[in-house]
Every structure is written in C-alpha cells, then in structure tokens.
Chain A
C-alpha cells in the first residue's frame, strides 16, 4: 500500500468502499483496550473523530489519555510489553491489520509531543523537511513546502530570514510550532497532539491554539490537554477519561465540548471540569 493511496482516499471514496463507516468519520476507535505487560491501562474505549474536527481528551494524569493517542498512530506498539484489543479504523480500515505498514500510518497520522523535539543538529528548513527525508517520501518544491507548512504553523514570519539556522536556537514556543510544521510537511490527515502546550508560556500557548484552529480546516486534530480553558477554546468535541484506583482508564463521558463543560451528565465529569479533583 503506498502513501499516495492513503492520500487519495477521500471521504466520498471511503463511503463507497466501506459503507459502514459514517461519511464524515476520519478515525474511529472500537472497543479499544490497552496493556503494558500484564497491566491493563485502558478499557473499552469507543470514540469516533469526525473529519476536520478538533477533539480534546481530558482527565487526570495516569488515566490513559496519552496511551490512547499513541495507539492511534501505532506508536504504542514500540514500547516493550505493549498489547491491544479492539480496532482502530482509519478511513474505514483497521490500522492494525496485517497488511498495513505502520510507517504509512504514522505518515498519515502525525504527532506532536509534550516537549518540543526539533532535531537540534538540523537547520529550521532541514527540520521541516526531515519527515520527507526520514520516511523516504518524495515531494517536489521543497521551498514551497517549507513556506506553506511554516505559515500553517504560524511561524513563517518569525523565521523566514533565518531558515538556515539551527532549530535548537528557537524559543520553546517557536520550537513547538516548528515541530508542528515538520509534522504537516508529510501531509497528514490527522494530527495527534500530546499536551502540546504544557511546556510553554501563556503567549506561546495562545499562538499554538490559533494554529490549531487554522489547521482544523484541513486536518483532523486530537489533543490531550490538562488545561480546561484550552479544551473549551479549541475543541469541538471533548472526551473525559478517568481511572479508578488500580483499575484501567475508561471514558466516562464524551460529546460536544459545550455539553461536556456546560451540561455534563456524569457527576465525576462535573467535578473534574469544575476543578474539584485531578
């Protein structure tokens, strides 16, 4: 299966090939449970991510949010003792089925981590293009890609005159936008963000949130956050994860962000979004 094939599968086609999938669903988790060795850390997660939407995953630390998004682009399996039950459907296909190349999945479903991690020895330009180089993906017009993705990440005007400086010289917030640009350069359909602002100052955080809103016109975004206001500001939908003591994490409640924060059905959700625990 080639990358091009992944890119060409648009909504209409996936509707035809897999009529079961909802027309606007890009990514779907069906009854997903996750283990580290013998320890079950996540149980029975069902969630669907509509195309070009922003979904926030909230909940206290250790409830499996980060683990969950790492299963969505097959990064979870790189950890020792990792195991999974259930299905993750990307454009209607199970990403864990035997004939799927994990490299293609990781290109189609990009990821931004908690700590900005540009390659320190590469230039800004080199960092943006590193995904193409590392994965061996061919795209022409590298200059255009650099400008487009840095613009999309809201960093172009700040760095356009110093593209040949090292990526490590930028500030934390700029580095985080640089790695967003890097993730965009391979043209992903989905972008996973694992607490992308937790290491940043408030001004940089606002810039990243602006970037997220702009990106969501073209990319489906799933963001893990501990910042309630951030979830309200950027997310269309929100899912609340919780793990009782010595039990795997579960999704307590999910739905439109306005509902979760304005009118939660579960008492635990109400307590959490009002800052009463976690």
Chain B
C-alpha cells in the first residue's frame, strides 16, 4: 500500500494528442466548432445593442402596439402586428404542410415500391434546394392569380367560417397565399425528417401489429406514429423555424399593412417581421428607422431561436425515450 502512495500519478489524457498532426487537427476543428458560437453571440450582441435605445424611446409598446409613424415627432413604432403576422403565416403554412408531409412520408415508407420511394425522396430533397427568390417569383406570377380563384371559392362556400371572410373583395396579397408559399418551403424539410423517423419503426413492432390483425391505418395510428411522434414534432418545428424567418418569398406575395390581421387569412394585407425589414430597408428615412428595423430583427432572431431550441429539446427527449 505504502508503495502505491508514493508512486507518481501520470495523467494519460494528454498523451491522446501526443502525435503532432493530431494536435494541429484537434485545435483546428475545435476553433471551427467554437466559431459558430462566436458568430451567434456576435449577431445577438450587435442586434441587442441596437435594440436597447429603441426600447428606451418606445418602451414595451414597441412589442405590443402596431404602428410605423416615423415622420411624426416623436416617431412611434410598434411591431406587434408583424410579430403576430409572422406566427399567423406560420400557422397557415403548418396546416397545409404537415398533413401533406405526413401523407407523403407514409406513402414513401409503407406503400411505395422501393424504386419509386427513392425517386420521390430525391425529388423532395431537390425541392428544398429551390432558392426562395425563385419560389417568390413563381408565387407572384403563377400562384397569385390561381390562388385568387381558390380564395374566392373558399369565401363563396365557406364564408360563414370567420377565417374565410373577406370584406374588401381584394383577394391578392393575403396571408393565405404567403402561408401557402411557406408551406411549399416547409414540405421538403418536414417530409424528409418524418420519412426518416417512420422508416425506423422497428420491424418487430410492425410484425406484432400485423399478427394481431391490424389494418394499415391502425398500425400507423397505434404503432408507427406514436413511436415516431417526437421526431415528427421536431421536424415540424425545424420547418416552422424556416417559415418564421422566411423573407423574400413572402415579400413577393404579401401586402404588408400596419394593422393586426387577426384571422382573416383570405383578406388582403398582413404582417411579417422579416418582410417588414426588407420592404422598409430600401426607403429608409434615417438612422432611427434603421435602428427600429434592427430591433425588429432582434426579436425575429429571438423568436426563431426559441423555436429551434424547442425543436432540439423535443428531438433529444424522444431520442432518449426510444433507447
């Protein structure tokens, strides 16, 4: 025992990087890994610094009211309608994209022949690669006039439901069209995550449910979907993150109005923080308006950050459960 006490204790963890090449490699990738954190922190600090004077002059009403009167003295600004509008667009997009994505992935995993399934997978991944400005242009020239007709029909037959009311008779630049474009952008993300999750349904459980006289539908409802629930929700949140921050595609089709459009999704006019920023930026009136836009950006940044953190939490929690 006494011998053991006097023995020198050598730290072996350092020898793992004794090789010189390894040491350089390790430092390089460690730096690269941390640089992502620095960029994130840098953006947050820059935007945060611009937000403080705005909150000092506008107070919390910057978040709770809807106004953009820059030329009055003192200027008043509030982005509530824009924040709410971003969420409304995201909800419209979710309602369209989630069922579509689920059906596509169920088809690819459980029904389609292998060749067709892999072809569809590639096609849907390609969809994710379409630049949003192209989608915006397409939406402006093709979707706009088409969706105008859809919305008129919705209004005509389902107008008794509050969300399908339209008082102005103008069906262009509506949250519905903007949400539809966002849905097209969400579908590839949500579909590829959902497909991945569903394809990992343990074959043992599928076997068990088949042997218990399960139909396809009950197998999905009681086995595959509950098993993949967390991953699917995570995928939806990732798509949501994209929808909340999307700027240019919405810019082409949504008419930005400084008023809160609570639920009239086929009424012309709505809001979106990202699109507010890009639409005002070109015709900015002075340094104070720039600060207002940067502060708006800060809150958009916070909103998407929260959604992404939530998505990660949900996905991680499910990962643990499945083990």
Contact = CB atoms under 8 A, between A and B. Distances in A.
Interface string B204-245: 110111111111001100110011000000000000000000
Contacts of B205: 117, 119-120
B290 to A, nearest CB: 52
A275 interface: no
B227 A121 contact: yes
Contacts, number: 64
For this complex, into which size category does the number of interface residues on chain B fall? Answer: 10 to 19
Contacts of B222: 119, 130, 133-134
B208 A117 contact: yes
Contacts of A73: 211
A135 B207 contact: no
Given A119-B223, A130-B222, A135 B213 contact: yes
A135 B222 CA distance: 11
Nearest to B222: A134
A111 B211 contact: yes
Contacts of A136: 218
Contacts of B212: 106-107, 110, 130-131, 134-135, 182-183, 186
A118 B205 CA distance: 7
A12 interface: no
B226 A113 contact: no
A143 to B, nearest CB: 20
Contacts of A186: 212-213
A182 B223 CA distance: 15
Nearest to B208: A117
Interface in B268-305: none
A103 interface: yes
Interface string B196-210: 000000101101111
A92 B191 CA distance: 47
A104 interface: yes
A136 B202 CA distance: 23
A179 B205 CA distance: 11
B207 A103 contact: no
A101 to B, nearest CB: 9
Interface string B67-98: 00000000000000000000000000000000
Interface in A83-139: 103-104, 106-107, 110-111, 113, 115, 117-121, 130-131, 133-137
A135 B214 contact: yes
B197 to A, nearest CB: 14
Given A119-B223, A121-B226, A134 B209 contact: yes
A75 interface: yes
B210 A104 contact: no
A130 B214 CA distance: 10
Contacts of B219: 134
A16 interface: no
A104 B213 CA distance: 7
B211 A113 contact: yes
A8 B223 CA distance: 31
Nearest to B321: A121
Given A113-B208, A115-B204, A117-B204, A103 B226 contact: no
Interface in B125-152: none
B213 A107 contact: yes
A140 to B, nearest CB: 19
Contact of A75 (B210, B218, B227): B210
Nearest to B219: A134
Contacts of B223: 119
A203 interface: no
Nearest to A104: B213
Contacts of B218: 133-136
A104 B215 CA distance: 11
A78 interface: yes
Contacts of B215: 103
A78 B210 contact: yes
Nearest to B209: A134
Given A134-B218, A134-B222, A135-B218, A179 B213 contact: no
7 contacts: A75-B207, A115-B204, A119-B208, A120-B205, A134-B209, A179-B208, A186-B212
Given A75-B207, A103-B213, A182-B208, 8 more contacts: A73-B211, A104-B213, A107-B212, A110-B211, A120-B227, A121-B321, A136-B218, A186-B212
Interface of B: 202, 204-205, 207-215, 218-219, 222-223, 226-227, 321
